[in-house]
Amino acid sequence: MRHLLSIEDLDRAAIERILDRARSFTEVSEREIKKVPALRGRRVLNLFYEASTRTRSSFELAAKSLSADVINFVSSGSSVEKGESLKDTVQTLSAYQPDLIVIRSPHVGAANLVAGWTTAGVVNAGDGKHEHPTQALLDVHTLLQRFDKLDGLSIWIVGDVLHSRVARSDILAFTKLGARVTVCGPPTLIPRGIAEALGCDVEYTLDRLGEADVVYALRMQHERMSGSFVPSLREYASVYQIDGRRLGARQVLMHPGPVNRGVELAAEVIDSPQAMIGRQVAAGVVVRMAVLYELLAGRGAPSPQAVSSYPAPQPA
């Protein structure tokens, strides 16, 4: 495997292999010297075109924990602000001979495009509303700390599914591992055709939330809410907020962060023992270590090869 662009690049066995390795890396994080030399001398380039706290810092920490060298490139204050195109930026930075490029972009398919323009491996760290595959892997990893397996679990993903790349990657990953996924949210925030496209169920109310083993709340994305998809956040919260009344004692609660306290989640559930939000963040580092290891370890430097000609196809 050269790139991780979509959860669809992984079959069940590959997911399990990566997560087995993530578990073995957990021990590294608990050492006094939190570093192993597995990727010494490798260069990892973080290319972030969108604000990100945990994804970027966890990729950086993951690479450093494996002794790779890390370059961080953020779009603000860079040549991007001078109008440099994504292609030119990637080709310029490729001159530094990175072994891996981690890219976050507001645009669907950006990671696939980058993969066509460089000889480095590419990890999609979020491309628009499309996918965020490492988030899905760390979510599975977190769930496997609580459940032996995902087979037969009922997982409800609640909230703004329309704008969520996390939802798309999670639905694919959870169903690959045998879970049954239900998406639930206001009809304006559930994309038309999603049941058929991703093989999930659709609900518009939380009436049957009690069936869920896992409740995965999504962030209400203010920054993407250019249209008035809901009449008010107050009404949204009254219908869809996961609070102490709605969350059952045996249900597990997840959220990709950052949380809007009092919107999609009430304070009492964030701080409840059912919440695994902190564990998700911790899982981010070890799972990303495992992904970097999967793509880079035991592999020679990438051989120069013809990069695709215009326009680079973006296999979706």
For another protein, the binding residues (CB under 8 A) are 85-87, 105, 107-110, 112-113, 128-131, 165, 168, 191-194, 196-198, 226-227, 310-316
| Secondary structure of the chain as H, E, C letters | CCCECCHHHCCHHHHHHHHHHHHHHHHHHCCCCCCCCCCCCCEEEEEECCCCCHHHHHHHHHHHHCCCEEEEEECCCCHHHHCCCHHHHHHHHHCCCCCEEEEEECCCCHHHHHHHHCCCEEEEEEECCCECHHHHHHHHHHHHHHCCCCCCCEEEEECCCCCCHHHHHHHHHHHHCCCEEEEECCHHHCCCCHHHHHCCEEECCCCCHHHCCEEEECCCCHHHCCCCCCCCHHHHHHHHCECCCCCCCCCEEECCCCCCECCCECHHHHCCCCECHHHHHHHHHHHHHHHHHHHHCCCCCCCCCCCCCCCCCCCC
CB of 310 to another protein, least distance (A): 6
Q: Provide the minimum distance between the beta carbon of 25 and another protein in the complex, in angstroms, as a whole number.
A: 30
Pick the closer one to another protein by CB: 15 or 161: 161
- Which CB atom, from 67 or from 314, has the smaller least distance to another protein? 314
CB 96 to another protein: min, Å: 22
Nearer to another protein, 249 or 310 (CB): 310
Min dist. Cβ of residue 316 to another protein (A): 5
Q: Which is nearer to another protein, 274 or 314 (CB)?
A: 314
Shortest gap between Cβ of 9 and another protein (angstroms)?
Answer: 14
Cβ nearer to another protein, comparing 262 with 315: 315
